[in-house]
Amino acid sequence: MNVPMLYDKKWLFIILFWFMWFFNFSSRVVVGPVLPIIEDNLAISHGASGGLVGLCFVGYGLSQLISGIIASRVGYRRTILAGFLILIFALIGAFFTRSYRFFALFFFLIGLAGGAYLPSIIYIITKKFPYESWGKAVGIHDSAAPSAIFATPILVAFIITILNWRSVFLVIAFFCLIVSIIFFISIKEPESHRKAGMPEISIWLKKKSTWILFLLWIIAAGLSTGTYNIFPLYLVKERGLSITFANKIFGITRIGGILLPVISGILADKIGFKKIIFFAIIIDGILTLFLGFSLPLSVMVILLFLQATIISAFFPVGLIAVSSYAYKEIRSLAVGGSVAIAAFIGAGFTPFALGVIADYLSFATSLIIFGTISIIFSFFAFLLK
């Protein structure tokens, strides 16, 4: 980023959006680091634990599916603010609950509320920035997600040494409140295009590239968030690490993904998105496969670092790809629909499926299976026009 950019008001907004995405994303990824504690406290199976993660991302996917439509009618700013208010309520509810049933309810609400953000903020960003700057703007904004993936396990490891582990939900709720107040004060409702009609939606859904992107988003979400929420269980239950040590290792291995979204966004402005999508998925699939083998801890830490880093290149480029294929009238709907499907199946179903396979076989076997599937489907990137 050059010096003039720092004095451009648009880039100051990106900093605000970055923190909003960071805490929004943290509200969901915190589930993984605390999952072993919840499993022990409630005496539930790996499959039931994975089900909690799944419900969170089913809620997220459902919200993504409808929030683009709602935002085009009630306003993008209002949709984001409403989502943050519900998110704060759900996080506070998760702090107080003591039963599996209510954990499931509040995790579902955390996903449902958090999903209102991304379709609307991508619309706002693409309205504020010219097309040739989309890669940089979206890349910088999206780097908040891997930053949250890096920081959240470390935050959990720190909090459980000084406070009750449930306090992590209150900490995230507090910061969500702060950024939502700043957003309310500083951001005006953007000018909207006419409401999208069925012709635009129908044309978009008839494109082969739309469905290929759906598939690639599913795989990428599974490699990123889906495996993320099951890795702490794997490290604690099968590798025998303490939860504090596992979360510290897990957090440190996430640090590589902070800069790569920015780099991939800049590259997308120059070389396009097809090659970036392919290499991100195939390399990450190979790394996930090898994580299923019985390797020394030092090697596993290196693989976890690379696995988390490489897949982070996909998401800003994936958002740019979806935005490029859709009419501007349905851009928020297209982003929401793509991320919704990824959340339902990739982030939601993947941890549940991995947990069920682990109950019958092992976590290692589930990682080998999913890594192989990812490698195969990475080649679909070359079918994009």
Full-model pTM: 0.72
Residue with tokens 């978009």: 204
The predicted pLDDT at position 198 comes to 63
Question: pLDDT confidence of 375, banded at 50, 70, 90?
Answer: very high
Residue 269 pLDDT grade (very low, low, confident, very high; cuts 50, 70, 90): confident
CA separation for the pair 254, 256 (Å, rounded): 6
Whole-number mean pLDDT of the chain? 83
pLDDT of residue 357: 85
Q: Please report which confidence band the pLDDT of residue 327 belongs to, taking 50, 70 and 90 as the band edges.
A: low
Task: State how far the Cα of 347 lies from the Cα of 341, in Å rounded to an integer.
Answer: 9
Q: Does position 315 have pLDDT exceeding 90, yes or no?
A: no
Cα separation, 342 vs 346, whole angstroms = 5
pLDDT band at 7 (very low <50, low <70, confident <90, very high): very low
What are the pLDDT digits (tens) for 68-124? 778 877 888 899 999 999 999 999 999 998 888 898 999 999 999 998 898 889 888
Distance (Å) of CA 58 to CA 4, 52, 119, 319: 42, 10, 16, 20
Q: pLDDT (tens digit, 9 = 90+) per residue, 164-211?
A: 888 899 999 999 999 999 999 988 877 665 555 566 677 777 778 888
- Buried/exposed code over 102-133 (b: 16+ C-beta within 10 A; e: otherwise): ebbbbbbbbbbbbbbbbbbbbbbbbebbeeeb
Structural domains present in the chain: 3-383 (1.20.1250.20)
Share of the chain above pLDDT 70, in %: 93
% of the chain exceeding 90 in pLDDT: 24
CA distance 115 to 83: 8
